[in-house]
Structure 1
Amino acid sequence: METVKNFTDVLLDGDQDKAWEVVMNEVDKGTSTEDIFYGLLTPAMVEIGQKWQENEISVADEHLATTTCDFTLARYKHEVLLPRIQKKPQDQGRALFFCVEKEEHDLGIRMIAQIFEENGYKVRLMGANLPVEFVLTMAVNWEPDVIGMSASMLKQGERVPSYIQRLMERFEQTELLIGGRFLSLPDQLLDKADDSKMTIIQEGSELSAWMAARVEGGK
Structure 2
Amino acid sequence: METVTDFTHVLLDGDQDKAWEYVINEVNNGASTEEIFYQLLTPAMVKIGQKWQENEISVADEHLATTTCDFTLARYKHEILLPRISNREQDQGKALFFCVEKEEHDLGIRMIAQIFEEKGFDVRMMGANLPVEFVLTMAVNWEPDVIGMSASMLKQGERVPSYIQRLMERFENIELLIGGRFLSLPDQLLDKADDSKVTIIQEGSELTDWLDDRTKGGK
**Which category of TM-score, normalised to the shorter sequence, fits these structures?**
over 0.9
Residue equivalent to 2:145:
145
Q: Give structure 1 regions of 4+ aligned residues with deviation exceeding 6 angstroms.
A: none
Residue equivalent to 1:133:
133
Give the Å deviation of 1:184. Answer: 2.1
Give the Å deviation of 1:187. Answer: 6.6
| 1:19-168 alignment, distance < 5 Å | 19-168=19-168
CA contact (8 A) 1:7 1:19 kept: yes
Q: Deviations over 1:99-133 (max 9, x none)?
A: 00000000000000000000000000000000000
Give the Å deviation of 1:27. Answer: 0.4
Q: Percent identity over the alignment? A: 86
Between the aligned partners of 2:152 and 2:35, the Cα distance in structure 1 is: 21
CA contact (8 A) 1:158 1:188 kept: no
Between the aligned partners of 2:68 and 2:45, the Cα distance in structure 1 is: 11
Relative to the length of structure 1, the TM-score reads 0.97
User: Which one-letter code corresponds to 2:68 in the other structure?
Assistant: T
Q: Which runs of 5+ in 1 are unaligned?
A: none
Between the aligned partners of 2:194 and 2:161, the Cα distance in structure 1 is: 9
Q: Deviations over 1:136-159 (max 9, x none)?
A: 000000000000000011210110
Q: Deviations over 1:68-100 (max 9, x none)?
A: 000000000000000011121100000000000
User: Which one-letter code corresponds to 1:164 in the other structure?
Assistant: I
Indicate how the Cα distance of structure 1 residues 2 and 84 shifts in structure 2: closer, same or farther if over 3 A, else same.
farther
Between the aligned partners of 2:48 and 2:186, the Cα distance in structure 1 is: 22
Say whether residues 1:172 and 2:172 are aligned partners: yes
Between the aligned partners of 1:101 and 1:111, the Cα distance in structure 2 is: 19
Give the Å deviation of 1:195. Answer: 2.2
Point out the more displaced range, 188-197 or 170-179.
Answer: 188-197
Between the aligned partners of 1:31 and 1:195, the Cα distance in structure 2 is: 32
Relative to the length of structure 2, the TM-score reads 0.97
